[in-house]
Structure 1
């Protein structure tokens, strides 16, 4: 009887260790698999916030994009005349400062993002949620503020 109690006790400890290990691993695995479709819609670029250490746009090119509408749908992303296909809407969350430095090679100081930051991959760019109606777009290493455009109602 004592040996069966020891055996049961060891199984319980083993299960607890396994569950705690999986308990830590599962949320990380799920986080990589989450999708956020709440960014689908039209977003107007309102200002240039900052740029990465190396970016694909100079200041003049970035400024010309102010007023451009970013259109995000389930099938494609359009930024002005540039069209990208198949957004996956994969979500990654992390500490604002560390995430922006490591993933975007920039500082979060001028972006006005919450911490933790939520990043959503939209095929050719990343967006970071500020609020339900405000995003930061990382387009070619330049960060833009974007405001959701309300759908126009037809009478």
Structure 2
């Protein structure tokens, strides 16, 4: 009887259900993005040597030898080429790449081609620069490597 006097009420009955469905569909994406460092969890294959910092602990030949090797990044730490990194809180920051790279490593962004701003994630033993989903630049032993995610 109420719906006869107020036709809008009949139309509005579906709104709470539609809102609940919409919120439920977005909640997993929100939870994933809300956890720091979640976008870099997985296995990353080094595909290309991009640049080197002012100080490097290996030479260019040694850096090329790392191509094809896979770094595993997990919440409980990272592993790469026999080395183990301690667990990290995945400190994340968004920075302007030219200024940050110049200050931190004495290099520019021209060879790395990072987006501006870029998300930088500290994994306790090194830094990961997120280029786009499934693509990153990983700093290791003084070199910047292009890396592609091979699995989660």
Match of 2:100 in 1: 99
Inter-partner Cα distance in structure 2 for 1:57 and 1:92? 27
Match of 1:112 in 2: 113
Q: Give deviations 1:54-107, integer Å, cap 9, x for gaps.
A: 111111110110000010000010111111111221012111110111122211
How many residue pairs match? The answer is: 118
Q: Give every structure 1 segment of 4 or more consecutive aligned residues whose post-TM-superposition deviation is greater than 4 Å.
A: none
Inter-partner Cα distance in structure 2 for 1:104 and 1:122? 17
Taking structure 2 as the reference length, the TM-score comes to 0.74
Q: Give deviations 1:10-55, integer Å, cap 9, x for gaps.
A: xxxxxxxxxxxxxxxxxxxxxxxx8222100001000100001111
Matches within 5 A, 1:113-132: 113-132=114-133
Inter-partner Cα distance in structure 1 for 2:38 and 2:106? 25
Inter-partner Cα distance in structure 2 for 1:150 and 1:73? 12
1:149 corresponds to 2:129: no
Inter-partner Cα distance in structure 2 for 1:53 and 1:104? 6
Match of 2:37 in 1: 36
Taking structure 1 as the reference length, the TM-score comes to 0.72
Secondary structure in 2 aligned to 1:61? helix
Match of 1:5 in 2: none
Inter-partner Cα distance in structure 1 for 2:111 and 2:142? 14
1:67 corresponds to 2:71: no
Secondary structure in 2 aligned to 1:102? helix
Inter-partner Cα distance in structure 2 for 1:150 and 1:92? 24
Inter-partner Cα distance in structure 2 for 1:35 and 1:150? 19
